[in-house]
Structure 1
């Protein structure tokens, strides 16, 4: 608060103005500039975004990029030291540099477009507000509000800043965006005891909504100093967690780069004593290193993840970070809030009880579509309840649908009345209200008095069933007015208890005829005739139960984390299938405070159904951190500002796009544009598919890296003075012939059983034993083929090893055969790696046309390198004969046949021996 001394909520109304240096007339115009300079605009601090140039520079910190950039720099240096200069060295340096720039450009474009698509305006702070300044009532932009301003509020207004009430007429507010509690809570202007400001019943907070009543309040905090701003800062301070794929790719990059440097250094040490020139030997070692680094991997990974992003976007799920796509696939726990995520945040009448009979009501939300079963017996009940409402229904307008202005409970009553054939507006016009006795928290009733067309007065009363029943002397029982006997009273109480046990909020409605004159409150609310009960709830979203079932089937645990009451939370959890057992574990925020970290870990380790209720943002973050300590991959869903810290701290933060707050969307890495919880299940399915596809193209890429390295090693140890494949040829393969097929593999659709498997372990290696075995198997076959064709050409020439030069036709044909052999075998390899155990002929060789097109493009590019003089000069290649292509195709068919034989053996070996790799 901006005051010193006693807490603002403890002060009497007259002292509030003095404490904030203002008056009931509001701020004086002369005081505005001083306060504006001191406090600044009333807006949340915008998230600090790095400039685009920083994002672009960040692309060069990838370890592969660093290794290649260093290699390019050293190669440029080697070219400068050579005498005479070798054009091939310059070509190699330029080619490596182009690879680095291309990878960085692709990664930057994908990240930049995803981030900018996800940006949203600060929608939570209302655009305008009504204030008193110098005694004059003004409408101002909310950002111009200052501490000391007196704001004027009524039902339907969003609270523009943190305020202390100085006038309040039956005010209630919805704090769901701030606390997660869905029920409207009453507010008073009277002083309250000192304590946490969020619990002060005489304070209103930015981002909440007034649902009933009118008020005046004095602003005591604006912008980042509000409670909303405090949560914003808490979310900003929470560290962004690395995804499992980030960790594994970084580990893989370190190992591959380390191995490349080690082997390059080893070969440099082996060749230098043999009398080769220093610079030439060094360039040769760099070529080996380049052969081991999968240059196309960063670009392929980025674009493959981007394909997943686009697939999710087509399903109304916006992913801001590419790597978040894959992380969804490894999710083991979903911590979900309740209001607005599992439910629609729209109160809905689902049961009407009258005369011992229940009348179910169909339809959800504020759209008046649906019907009341057998409406005639309850039409008078709903008419009376609707007349006793201050809320009103607002017809749909772009872009919003039906909504309610005022208390959400009253809105639900109005919608139910419309479903029963009652027109609330017409009834109000026919029987105008002449007086009212507003609801208060003491008597828990609201009463209105109406005059009919004949001049007679009628009372309409609604409120808590227990309070209303005590004031009734009769009951409408199946169309007859009967005395309220103990037996009938017990029947009403039993019906109320049954509705409440279902997690429904229950209202009772009653009426009476009044004598002429001006009735008092006691007269209006006595000797009533009970008409019945109305049971309502914040309905679950219709798609949620199926989504919860799918998550369970996929081995994903769901924990509800909400600021709502335990009974309400459990009722909703049962409706959507999160709770199925008789006694779930229900833990409140108070109990969480009493648990140390070890006790919390023990609680979360239990496998039973868990509901965390009445929790704060700090509680949510603590729970997420505790789950992560246990090795869980945690996704957190939410829409309120109170969810933002946990959204950011989670492995995957999932915010609601339509109903979510700006703070929540800012903290999350994934935004559900349709607010559909079912989109999470779809995202998990796509995420798992992305991981599978990543492994497919990793096998594809690294198997040919072996085929590039082995001939170089073989030539070195065989004493051949030249390399079987140059670094420029390797780059042409990696970028020209491999990237497109790898992308086509990355676009393979999810396998049918992807959601039938448990989540993969967070510690599962990207390169498992099975994956490495498959890389060595396929790479070994390719290596055998290209080594055979190379040494066959060399020996067929009849030239001794020592006499070979780079200009010999036989040598140029031999290295062309090596490059073409790798390209052709990779075409067949791409077909082979599409499945792990299933025959590729079973799914169809033509079922991925993009893969076939990409393979044909690679072979066409290789043909151009072989036959076009311009490319021959760059790559030192020679034209191949038709018989050469036939030999290479034969080796490709051999690779595919060998892989099909391996899959056949996996399918037909003994079941007890089957140990399927996680590929």
Structure 2
């Protein structure tokens, strides 16, 4: 039986799609490669080098000037390719998270990619949905739409039916579209958000023809830089100021002692070139982009670069229960009627076959005892009540079952789907029931209310059916003599909840008249009974929670479910420890009223929160953040948006999450699994560690080059390396290796590390120690080799050639030290990062090639060296590994 209004067939939708095209907005043009290229010449490092090139030119050092500009050009090209690739990858990742629309086609409700919505489609709207296209409403049930993105008004707009929608052309959409659009109360616009209620309607415009499509070209998205990149840019600015101050001091000192202006300037340029890690911002951007791609492989989609850095910093995860920690596949296993009759239901998940076995009839004994005294048979009264209970579960229920090649699939809320499966076990056809009970009005489920209701006409009667939390329904009901008392109902709920069951109550009333507000009829209801349904934990949750504990990350469950249900599942998963109690919404509200200190103590007294409202979820998150934790929050509904927005990292469910939740989040889980969060944290820590490795490499080698130049000033020797040679050194070694380090794989101990404090500086004591030790060793040894050659009569050019080769070897060896802060290189898989091995070989090969290439050889004052010199220099360079290994050993 078809209970749906007129809708498109599959063939009609395909024709309309061919005619009107995909339902997508014109995308803002990606930044051109030329614009990205020009942007590479911004920044304090670049300005200093530009100044050095200009001054070199005016002082007649044309070769130096040309080479500095050439290096800047090469760095710009490399940075352009890296940034363009990163932006391209980010755009591709965004397309991995489609937006869905619920439509009726071929008289069946289906969930489709919103891109293939066409004019004429019959859409269904529910809270949290982003309206996929301009549409005119056919039905509206307490529907409120947030249109602020179009109108700027923050208040949600009430939607209502003001005229019949009977001028639909199922192939082309509305015949008289302009007239329909005039009434904005009945029209919903693409991009706006459903805040409350339900509705359905017909699409009148898609894509560029929608209201938002017409103005989308005037809308520019603003990109914000992640905090890590901002901190790095501030750090580079400080380095620049430091260099300028140092150069100024040296300039004054050397001039006052009578040195030539040309040599003084040459020294200043050399210092500037040595100290500036010009490739640092680009290398960090690449590291973050690599992290985004790696996280996508573990089903974690990053919506902005901030989250790559932030996810690895988490010290606290506030997780939903249903669908994140559990499989989101409800199975009703217990039924208890108001008269005390209890039934056991067999079968699991979406298995439509099962038995309803009566246990004990008409007793007020607690459920556990009922189960122990199984009896056969059932009274006629129980059978009637059972049918009434099943029917109540099927109404105010928008879910449906779909047969696929892999078996039955449930579409819609899985609680509602569980009632469809239960009906099948009673041989009740849910579609026939819905057709027989014509719906007159409905109150959709909202988490704040904890119930849903519908009024249905059946055999000339108007029957109100309500289902929701037992506590809520009991307060709406009156109990006749002989029925189970409220006290015994609460006992049975507690016992079921203690075993991890989610308990829902069902009630009804026969109405004389249909009230204007259905909420006014929710009194003097008759309690039908309750069901206990189980939603088992996901297989990987226990190990994922254990991994979080090992990583010193607290995991909390925040749910709207019964406290005993929440606590039972929290204990199974390992979230709750022995003796821990669940904190309820009522307890939180009481603590909040008593002040900040009491509320903070209450929040930190447990990791299980039950019967929590969305507003309280936000309060919990804010308090945990205020107390110093770095918080990640999961959510899927429109009411989770505030908590997702306020948390350091908002994580939305990609499959069952609403559009609002996904757009409020920094991260989207494509599989909705809690274990994917842990995988993401691991990848986030890898990214952060790799960024620190890049920084360590660039700063320590830069510091070594500064020491090398400063020693020449202190000991009165010629410059060990000219600015041209220093630029070459930075180009052929660091210019390749810093990016290669960003590809470093996991060291294997990421989750064994304690979560780093949110305010921890990048340069901690260990990094500073390693930078100082390695820079001193490289700088001192390189200068010692240079001075020894000068003292033994070796020509300056030959001495510089040897010194430059030693520095190239140092930096190629040093990149191996940079692969791990604590792990010995002898305990690492040498070929674990093929990019790095290739980078080392490429850097060394390029330098060797330059030693034998006419033109470049003369420009850089290079020359081939003997085999004995090679072996001596290699031995000195390898000593750097010994020093760093000793430091790691004694520090460990």
Q: Structure 2-normalised TM-score?
A: 0.69
- With over 3 angstroms needed to count, the CA separation of the structure-2 counterparts of 1:299 and 1:817, relative to structure 1, is farther
Q: Distance in 1 between matches of 2:827 and 2:552?
A: 29
* Greater displacement, 582-591 / 646-655: 582-591
Q: Distance in 1 between matches of 2:127 and 2:596?
A: 45
Q: Distance in 1 between matches of 2:486 and 2:270?
A: 92
2:786 to 778, 783, 790: 790
1:320 matches 2:303? yes
Report what 1:606 is aligned to. 604
- With over 3 angstroms needed to count, the CA separation of the structure-2 counterparts of 1:61 and 1:849, relative to structure 1, is closer
- With over 3 angstroms needed to count, the CA separation of the structure-2 counterparts of 1:729 and 1:671, relative to structure 1, is farther
Q: Distance in 2 between matches of 1:322 and 1:156?
A: 29
Q: Could you give the per-residue CA deviations for residues 152-186 of structure 1, whole angstroms, max 9, x where no partner exists?
A: 97999989699999989xx799x9999xxxxxxxx
Report what 2:6 is aligned to. none
- With over 3 angstroms needed to count, the CA separation of the structure-2 counterparts of 1:295 and 1:646, relative to structure 1, is same
Alignment of 1:679-694 (within 5 A): 679-694=676-691
Q: Could you give the per-residue CA deviations for residues 808-838 of structure 1, whole angstroms, max 9, x where no partner exists?
A: xx33322222221122123332333434444
Report what 1:271 is aligned to. 254
Q: Could you give the per-residue CA deviations for residues 764-792 of structure 1, whole angstroms, max 9, x where no partner exists?
A: 22111221111121222222221122223
Report what 2:75 is aligned to. 99
SS in structure 2 at match of 1:534: strand
CA contact (8 A) 2:137 2:161 kept: yes
- With over 3 angstroms needed to count, the CA separation of the structure-2 counterparts of 1:439 and 1:682, relative to structure 1, is same
Q: Distance in 1 between matches of 2:434 and 2:657?
A: 39
Alignment of 1:707-786 (within 5 A): 707-721=704-718, 723-786=719-782
Report what 2:863 is aligned to. 878
Q: Distance in 1 between matches of 2:254 and 2:558?
A: 64
Structure 2 gaps of 5+ residues are 1-22, 107-115, 148-153, 163-182, 197-211, 213-218, 360-375, 444-450, 509-525
1:281 matches 2:264? yes
- With over 3 angstroms needed to count, the CA separation of the structure-2 counterparts of 1:688 and 1:167, relative to structure 1, is closer
Report what 1:636 is aligned to. 633
Report what 2:516 is aligned to. none
SS in structure 2 at match of 1:96: helix
Report what 2:236 is aligned to. 253
- With over 3 angstroms needed to count, the CA separation of the structure-2 counterparts of 1:104 and 1:607, relative to structure 1, is farther
Structure 1 gaps of 5+ residues are 1-43, 131-140, 146-150, 179-195, 205-216, 451-458, 474-483, 511-527, 799-809, 908-919
Q: Could you give the per-residue CA deviations for residues 852-892 of structure 1, whole angstroms, max 9, x where no partner exists?
A: 33322222122112222232133222222222211111102
Alignment of 1:331-730 (within 5 A): 331-338=314-321, 341-342=324-325, 347-351=330-334, 359=344, 363-364=348-349, 367-368=350-351, 389=394, 393-396=400-403, 402-404=409-411, 409-416=415-422, 418=424, 424-425=428-429, 495=492, 498-499=495-496, 502=500, 504-506=502-504, 534-536=531-533, 541-560=538-557, 576-580=573-577, 581-587=579-585, 591=589, 598=596, 602-603=600-601, 606-609=604-607, 611=609, 614-616=612-614, 624-721=621-718, 723-730=719-726
CA contact (8 A) 2:128 2:659 kept: no
CA contact (8 A) 1:385 1:413 kept: no
- With over 3 angstroms needed to count, the CA separation of the structure-2 counterparts of 1:344 and 1:489, relative to structure 1, is same
How many residues align? The count is 754
CA contact (8 A) 2:583 2:606 kept: yes
Report what 2:880 is aligned to. 895
1:818 matches 2:803? yes
- With over 3 angstroms needed to count, the CA separation of the structure-2 counterparts of 1:733 and 1:177, relative to structure 1, is farther
1:52 to 31, 38, 52: 31
Report what 2:18 is aligned to. none
Report what 1:67 is aligned to. 44
CA contact (8 A) 2:71 2:727 kept: yes
Q: CA deviation at 1:80?
A: 4.2
Report what 1:309 is aligned to. 292
CA contact (8 A) 1:785 1:821 kept: no
- With over 3 angstroms needed to count, the CA separation of the structure-2 counterparts of 1:491 and 1:710, relative to structure 1, is closer
Q: CA deviation at 1:292?
A: 0.9
- With over 3 angstroms needed to count, the CA separation of the structure-2 counterparts of 1:414 and 1:641, relative to structure 1, is closer
Q: Distance in 1 between matches of 2:581 and 2:605?
A: 13
CA contact (8 A) 1:658 1:673 kept: yes
Q: Could you give the per-residue CA deviations for residues 66-119 of structure 1, whole angstroms, max 9, x where no partner exists?
A: 122212331342244234x52222211331343245335523531453145315
CA contact (8 A) 1:176 1:339 kept: no
CA contact (8 A) 2:332 2:532 kept: yes
CA RMSD of aligned residues (A): 5.7
CA contact (8 A) 2:129 2:659 kept: no
Q: CA deviation at 1:267?
A: 2.8
1:117 to 67, 88, 93: 93
- With over 3 angstroms needed to count, the CA separation of the structure-2 counterparts of 1:697 and 1:409, relative to structure 1, is closer
Q: Could you give the per-residue CA deviations for residues 283-306 of structure 1, whole angstroms, max 9, x where no partner exists?
A: 541231121122232233222333
